[in-house]
Amino acid sequence: MSELLKRKRILSGIQPTGTPTLGNYLGALRNWALLQNSYDCLYMVADLHALTVRQVPADLRRNSRALTALLLAVGIDPKEHILFVQSHVPAHCELSWILACNTQFGELSRMTQFKDKSAKHPDNVNGGLFTYPVLMASDILIYNADLVPVGQDQTQHLELARDIAGRFNNIYGETFVLPEGYVPAAGAKVMSLSEPTKKMSKSDPNVNSFILMTDDKDTIVRKFKRAVTDSDGMVHFDTANKPGVSNLMTIYAAFTGKTMPEIEAEFAGKGYGDFKMAVAETTVDAICPVQEELQRIQADKAYVDGVLKDGAERAARLANRTVSKVHRKVGLLQLEK
Ligand code: AQP
């Protein structure tokens, strides 16, 4: 058995709902690349999840390929690990149905993200939004993932996945691994530049609220210059009273590895102008190499599609094995091959 197979398995996904932001990068993608050294990783472009909110079809298609290219540009290794698009592995939906039949209406009704997203999109409170946590459980359980990197907003969904897995195992016998949440040591939650009490989101209608991974230098500098701060002029970390400045410090710390007291000392007596410029320059220096790599990869569409084809085949092999086992356990008739 190779070393890789003995490692714990991690599954994580990102929705192709737009161009990823600095938040996606510092909170997820940068860590995904690091996790490859210690885990057996499956990384998924979660296009089915994206459909819970109305998408422009052409954009969704383009974003799925562009996001794959970005994942390759940040260093995801598609040979050692598995990179795939969720809809390319139909077994996820198949398992999702069976899991839905083992999930209670009351459990889904308690999901806070459903309540939040329904409030945000009152014109489109669809069934997919309601059953989304079951599909997420399926994404995880189908690969028997040991660990799932989750932000705070996803802990309730992971808990539900564990409940569903535990219930299934109790009724039908040991089938699924109960996944654990994984909080990466170097993760950072990045807040909106215009409303720093809200997280930075790629689908925010205000383009000044986020830095996109594809923004050029001038745009990055301009957006940081416009970032909301406060009027006391001190670079000091205090998320409750100085959310804007604290957010910029979080970004600076994530790129430089400096501690908050070190950053406070560095900018003591200097105005926000100098501080914002330093944050912008550090960001540009860090993401420029990713952008160059992205351009190189995006020029080779056949390579990107080849990666996805291979990823889908390898993911489907693992997923189909689980689905076949589940069919047997729940009593679906299987014919001899
Ligand atoms: N602001 C953030 N700070 C840290 N991490 C973040 N993530 C997202 N925003 C931040 C992490 O990125 C991963 C992929 O997220 P996603 O695209 O699947 O969905 P999301 O969390 O809903 O991200 P967005 O950018 O806010 O997308 P939209 O606008 O479409 O809803 C996840 O690991 C997430 O924690």
Amino acid at 80: E
pLDDT recorded at residue 185 = 67
Provide the 3-class DSSP secondary structure of residue 17: coil
Distance between CA atoms of residues 317 and 306, nearest Å: 17
Residues with CB under 6 A from ligand 1: 14-15, 17, 21, 23-24, 27-28, 46, 151, 189-190, 199-203
Q: Which one is catalytic: 79, 117, 217, 329?
A: 117
- Pocket mutation for ligand 1, best pick of 11, 15, 183 (most atoms within 8 Å of C-beta): 15
Separation of 71 CA from ligand 1 center, angstroms? 14
E strand residue ranges, the chain: 9-14, 40-45, 82-85, 147-149, 180-182
Q: What is the pLDDT of residues 64-121, one digit of tens each?
A: 999 999 999 999 999 999 999 999 999 999 999 999 999 999 999 999 989 888 998 8
Q: Once rounded to an integer, what is the mean pLDDT over residues 188-194?
A: 92
Q: The pTM is what?
A: 0.93
pLDDT recorded at residue 5 = 54
Separation of 172 CA from ligand 1 center, angstroms? 35
At 186, the pLDDT band (50, 70, 90 cuts) reads low
Separation of 245 CA from ligand 1 center, angstroms? 21
Question: Out of 128-132, 147-151, 210-214, 295-299, which region has the weakest mean confidence (pLDDT)?
Answer: 147-151
Give burial (CB, 10 Å; 0-12/13-18/19+) of 258: middle
Q: Once rounded to an integer, what is the mean pLDDT over residues 180-195?
A: 85
Residue 111: count of CB within 10 angstroms of its CB: 18
Domain ranges in the chain are 2-187+301-330, 207-295
Fold classified for 207-295: Tyrosyl-Transfer RNA Synthetase (1.10.240)
Q: What is the pLDDT of residues 43-64, one digit of tens each?
A: 999 999 999 999 999 999 999 9
The pLDDT mean for the chain works out to: 94
Q: Is pLDDT of 2 > 90?
A: no
Pairing label, strands 9-14, 82-85: unpaired
Q: What is the pLDDT of residues 253-263, one digit of tens each?
A: 999 999 999 99
- Pocket mutation for ligand 1, best pick of 201, 203, 251 (most atoms within 8 Å of C-beta): 201
In this structure, CATH architecture of domain 2-187+301-330: 3-Layer(aba) Sandwich (3.40)
pLDDT recorded at residue 116 = 86
Q: Is pLDDT of 4 > 70?
A: no
- DSSP assignment of 251-266 equals HHHHHH---HHHHHHH
Q: Which one is catalytic: 6, 120, 189, 199?
A: 199
CB-based contacts of 8, cutoff 8 Å, min separation 6: 39, 40, 146, 147
Element holding 288 (H helix, E strand): helix 272-298
Q: What is the pLDDT of residues 143-170, one digit of tens each?
A: 999 999 887 678 899 999 999 999 999 9
CA 277 to chain centre: 28
Q: Helices (DSSP H) in 81-126: which residue ranges?
A: 91-100, 105-109, 112-120
